[in-house]
């Protein structure tokens, strides 16, 4: 997709006015929640191919939290750089963990440190997608984890962590938890 198409697609997905920059966009969602997403990360090949048809699978990254827009922009941009630098060795898919991401993003005044990609939950179970002839582009959500949560995910797997977080009622939007 061309940048104009990405901007139009993303603008139609988010129920708030997006503030676009070169590589990211951010919005205030109300209730002290903000979000940021990448713009153009879908040009990066992280090595994923669709099982049914062999099309390249690409993504735009999104993060939602009760954090400042600049922090959210910094985290999705750092995740995008980390994935791009991995040159296909680190897939942009649910379950991929991003160690020390907050430090890479230069975040301060937060207790979360690591990232985990999950299917996006903003759209009620449906993952937004654009299907082209040779490419499928989806939205991939990044949640931030504390050191203890990350250690649990390493030990029990991302699925085990997600179940434990849900059972414990952990507020993933709180980056100072």
- Residue 53: is its pLDDT beyond 90? no
**Residue 1, pLDDT score:** 87
- Residue 171: is its pLDDT beyond 80? yes
When pLDDT is averaged across residues 131-142 and rounded to a whole number, the result is 93
- Average pLDDT of the chain? 94
For the entire predicted model, the pTM comes to 0.93
Q: Taking the domains of the chain in order of start, what are their residue ranges?
A: 3-168
The total number of residues shown for the chain amounts to 177
* Euclidean distance between CA atoms 103 and 124, whole angstroms: 31
**Lowest pLDDT segment from 122-126, 137-141, 143-147:** 122-126
**Are the C-beta atoms of residues 39 and 7 closer than 8 Å to each other?**
yes
pLDDT tens-digit map of 70-129: 999 999 999 999 999 999 899 999 999 999 999 999 999 999 999 999 999 877 777 888
When pLDDT is averaged across residues 16-43 and rounded to a whole number, the result is 96
* Euclidean distance between CA atoms 17 and 133, whole angstroms: 30
**Residue 172, pLDDT score:** 96
**Residue 127, pLDDT score:** 83
* Euclidean distance between CA atoms 61 and 90, whole angstroms: 14
């Amino acid at each position: 997709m061309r940048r104009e198409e990405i901007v139009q697609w993303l603008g139609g997905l988010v129920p708030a006015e997006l503030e676009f920059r070169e590589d990211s966009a951010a919005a205030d969602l109300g209730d002290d929640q903000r979000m940021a997403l990448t713009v153009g990360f879908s040009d990066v090949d992280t090595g994923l191919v669709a099982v049914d048809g062999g099309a390249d699978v690409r993504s735009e990254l999104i993060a939602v939290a009760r954090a400042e827009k600049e922090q959210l922009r910094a985290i999705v941009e750092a995740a995008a750089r980390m994935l791009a630098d991995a040159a296909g060795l680190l897939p942009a898919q649910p379950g991929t963990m991003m160690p020390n991401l907050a430090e890479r993003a230069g975040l301060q005044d937060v207790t979360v440190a690591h990232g985990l990609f999950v299917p996006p939950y903003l759209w009620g179970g449906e993952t937004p997608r654009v299907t082209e002839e040779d490419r499928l582009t989806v939205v991939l959500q990044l949640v931030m984890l504390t050191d203890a949560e990350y250690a649990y995910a390493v030990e029990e797997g991302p699925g085990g962590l997600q179940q434990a977080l849900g059972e414990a009622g952990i507020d993933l939007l709180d980056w100072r938890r």
